Amino acid sequence: MDEFALINRFFRTAANAAGPGVKLGPGDDAAILSPTPGCELVMSMDTLIAHRHFPADLPAADVGWRSLAVNLSDLAAMGARPRWALLSLSLPQADADWVAEFARGFGELASSSGCVLVGGDTVRGPLAITVQVTGEVPAGEALLRSGASVGEQVCIGGVPGEAAAGLAAWQHGTRSGALVDRLARPAPQLALGERLRGVASACIDISDGLLADLGHLVTESGVAGATVHLPALPVSAALAAAGDETARQTWQLSGGDDYLLLFAWPAGRPLPDGCHAIGHFSADVGIRVLDAGGQPVEVARSGWNHFADASSEGHRP
Amino acid sequence: MDEFALINRFFRTAANAAGPGVKLGPGDDAAILSPTPGCELVMSMDTLIAHRHFPADLPAADVGWRSLAVNLSDLAAMGARPRWALLSLSLPQADADWVAEFARGFGELASSSGCVLVGGDTVRGPLAITVQVTGEVPAGEALLRSGASVGEQVCIGGVPGEAAAGLAAWQHGTRSGALVDRLARPAPQLALGERLRGVASACIDISDGLLADLGHLVTESGVAGATVHLPALPVSAALAAAGDETARQTWQLSGGDDYLLLFAWPAGRPLPDGCHAIGHFSADVGIRVLDAGGQPVEVARSGWNHFADASSEGHRP
């Protein structure tokens, strides 16, 4: 199968190119799209490299899902509604079965999130996927990282650490279950992102780890620091069963890939369902983690970093 | 230097993130952009893989220029005006000098074309660059591949074959000169694309080779075929000096990477400066090339294809 046939087959099956706002989908030099009057565009792009951002033996459908999910999570963190995606696939060879499975997983999430695949590119090269997404938000209403104030609550949209526990399970040979699903098929919190607009003063999605991403909120907001109360971190049954307290603490505080929203929320205001207050922004310098007795907890590592950690050629964290 | 420092340094120097329509540039989960009322968005994304889409020893500044240029050329082919770009850089290591040079070349073209780098991603991996661009066009005025009619002229925006001749020169050790420049720093024909709106009935940019891309116009327009008159192909002094007639013919008809606009133009209508009529769309099936005597010319190969040509691991064509 030649390149063009591969691209066409892929795009025409994965994409419902006649979606809303899509004037021209794949097949020309570029896509033509009609933005919604009164909205701003929100754009993000992320690359996933095999072995590094996902296990090399992750099923192709999960790779497809995941490559879109990590991008949609950025839109969720801005409170934006997904509209359109572009995809660049770098493949070692034209493996039609792999591409079909990839397209299936990508398409499942695209459909359920209202995101239309409108174009892209297929090249021969090392296995890598780049996805660009565009969302829309009513003008002026996007959530930024930069609005948190001292005294506001630090809140999270679910149970952190499950993806890291899923990765640990994967590395020990487990290929299914709730934790592995969290790693393989992260669910971008799009509805929550829209729900937070107008109330949350700052928001980010957790990709580097809870403490690392909390650090981004602190830095971008220009507050001195934040405190996290360890006993306030929600724990699921699956997470509780997956490892001892030390492992769980590391997964929860430093594990990446959860793609939960982490946000600043006014004190005393009821939280959206499924969200948890885990600390507060403070006038004390730095990020502190306190145990049940109010004592500071030492944390092994504060987040993943591609270039700083040459020992981790596998995948993060 | 860690990943975040590298990204920040790169983006803050390469991007003038406060450009028109840019409400929020790099540094948050996504960029926020204000589209122009009454315009449609035109989006494209292309990946360049080292060794494959550019020589591995191409200077970093040229790689930066080129990675944006091939994308802007898609906007030119739609008649769109560039607005914003996202960039994903996959690098084997955090080489600050390389990134700075890359950023310089990228930034030169971005500045001169009115395109603002608003975000992206840096990952560790094999050297590869993905760029996504968004342009704007007044609603309904974009140029498509699909509007050519029998009897219209086949026209081209310059001298085809120079990039292929430049590649041949490069492979023989030449590292400068007009032809090498055409390979290293293709100039997207953005002004011409806008000029063609409302008159040209179909347009494409030549990336796969003149005949291959003419084939796309024919197929997408649903006409039977097209005829190219070999003596009508413009030849520059540099191209004439670069090889014999056989080599030149192959470069001109089958060489990729020229990024000139190829378009359908009404018969008898004056052409924009620098453009040449080289044939016409016809009711005869297929693409034909005729010599000065009106005899059909055999063409060695009709274009580059990533997956179909396993022998070409270097770069195209």
CB contact under 8 A, A30 and B52: no
pLDDT over threshold 50, residue A308: no
Q: If you ran DSSP here, which 8-state letter would residue B65 be given? A: H
Confidence of residue B152 (pLDDT cuts 50, 70, 90): very high
Q: Specify the higher pLDDT residue, A98 or A311.
A: A98
Percent of chain A at pLDDT above 90?
75
pLDDT over threshold 90, residue A105: yes
Confidence of residue A254 (pLDDT cuts 50, 70, 90): very high
Within 8 A of A121 by CB-CB distance, chain B residues are: 45-47, 130
| Spatial separation of the C-alpha atoms in residues A133 and A31, rounded to whole Å | 13
Å between A302 CA and nearest CA of chain B: 13
CB contact under 8 A, A128 and B126: yes
Confidence of residue B9 (pLDDT cuts 50, 70, 90): low
- Distant-in-sequence, close-in-space partners of A204: CB < 8 Å, separation ≥ 6: A77, A145, A213, A216, A217, A261, A262, A263, B29
Substitution target in A1, A3, A9, A28 with the highest count of B β-carbons within 10 Å is A28
CB contact under 8 A, B120 and A45: yes
Which residue matches tokens 């770069």? B315
Average pLDDT, chain A: 89
How confident is the model at residue A99, as a pLDDT? 87
When pLDDT is averaged across residues A37-60 and rounded to a whole number, the result is 93
* Segment A197-225, tens digit of pLDDT: 999 999 999 998 999 999 999 999 999 99
Spell out a b/e string for A236-264, using b for 16 or more CB atoms within 10 Å of the CB, else e.
bebbeebbeeebbbbbbbbbbbbbbbbbb
Average pLDDT, chain B: 89
pLDDT over threshold 50, residue A306: no
Contact of B134 with chain A, judged by CB distance below 8 Å, is answered with yes
Q: How many Cα neighbours within 13 Å face the side chain of B213?
A: 32
Among A residues 183-212, those touching chain B with beta carbons less than 8 Å apart: 203-205
When pLDDT is averaged across residues A176-192 and rounded to a whole number, the result is 96
pLDDT over threshold 70, residue A315: no
Our measurement of the distance from residue A159's CA atom to the centroid of its chain's CA atoms, rounded to an integer in Å, reads: 14
Å between A295 CA and nearest CA of chain B: 31
Contact of B119 with chain A, judged by CB distance below 8 Å, is answered with yes
How confident is the model at residue A55, as a pLDDT? 87
Three-state secondary structure readout of A242-263: HCCHHHHHHHHHHCCCCCCEEE
Substitution target in A10, A45, A81 with the highest count of B β-carbons within 10 Å is A45
Assembly ipTM: 0.91
CB contact under 8 A, A220 and B28: yes
How confident is the model at residue B172, as a pLDDT? 93
Confidence of residue A26 (pLDDT cuts 50, 70, 90): confident
* Segment B215-239, tens digit of pLDDT: 999 999 999 999 999 999 999 999 9
**What are the Cα distances from residue B61, in Å, to B58, B104, B130, B184, B207?**
8, 6, 15, 9, 21
When pLDDT is averaged across residues B2-10 and rounded to a whole number, the result is 60
Within 8 A of A132 by CB-CB distance, chain B residues are: 43, 45, 86, 132
* Segment A71-89, tens digit of pLDDT: 999 999 999 999 999 999 9
Strand, helix or coil for residue A112:
helix
Within 8 A of B28 by CB-CB distance, chain A residues are: 78, 144-146, 220
Confidence of residue A316 (pLDDT cuts 50, 70, 90): very low
Contact B2, A307 (CB under 8 A): yes
How confident is the model at residue B55, as a pLDDT? 87
| Spatial separation of the C-alpha atoms in residues B278 and B291, rounded to whole Å | 12
Least confident of B2-6, B117-121, B263-267: B2-6
Contact A25, B41 (CB under 8 A): no
Contact of B252 with chain A, judged by CB distance below 8 Å, is answered with no
Task: Report helix angle A96-113 to A60-78, nearest 10.
Answer: 30
Among A residues 282-311, those touching chain B with beta carbons less than 8 Å apart: 305-308
Substitution target in A43, A88, A205, A309 with the highest count of B β-carbons within 10 Å is A43
| Spatial separation of the C-alpha atoms in residues A24 and B144, rounded to whole Å | 9
Greatest CA span in chain B, whole angstroms?
64
How confident is the model at residue A303, as a pLDDT? 46
When pLDDT is averaged across residues B163-179 and rounded to a whole number, the result is 94
Domains annotated on chain A, with CATH: 3-138 (3.30.1330.10), 153-290 (3.90.650.10)
Least confident of A64-68, A105-109, B90-94, B144-148: B90-94
Using CB atoms, pick whichever of B45, B128, B139 lies closest to residue A120: B45
pLDDT over threshold 60, residue B310: no
**If residue A107 lies in a helix (H) or strand (E), which one and from where to where?**
helix A96-113
Q: Which amino acid is at B100?
A: A
Q: Specify the higher pLDDT residue, B142 or B103.
A: B142
Least confident of A52-56, A195-199, A309-313: A309-313
- Distant-in-sequence, close-in-space partners of B257: CB < 8 Å, separation ≥ 6: B163, B164, B167, B183, B186, B207, B316, B317
Within 8 A of A4 by CB-CB distance, chain B residues are: 305
Q: What end-to-end distance do the CA atoms of chain A give, in Å?
A: 37
Q: Specify the higher pLDDT residue, B110 or A256.
A: B110
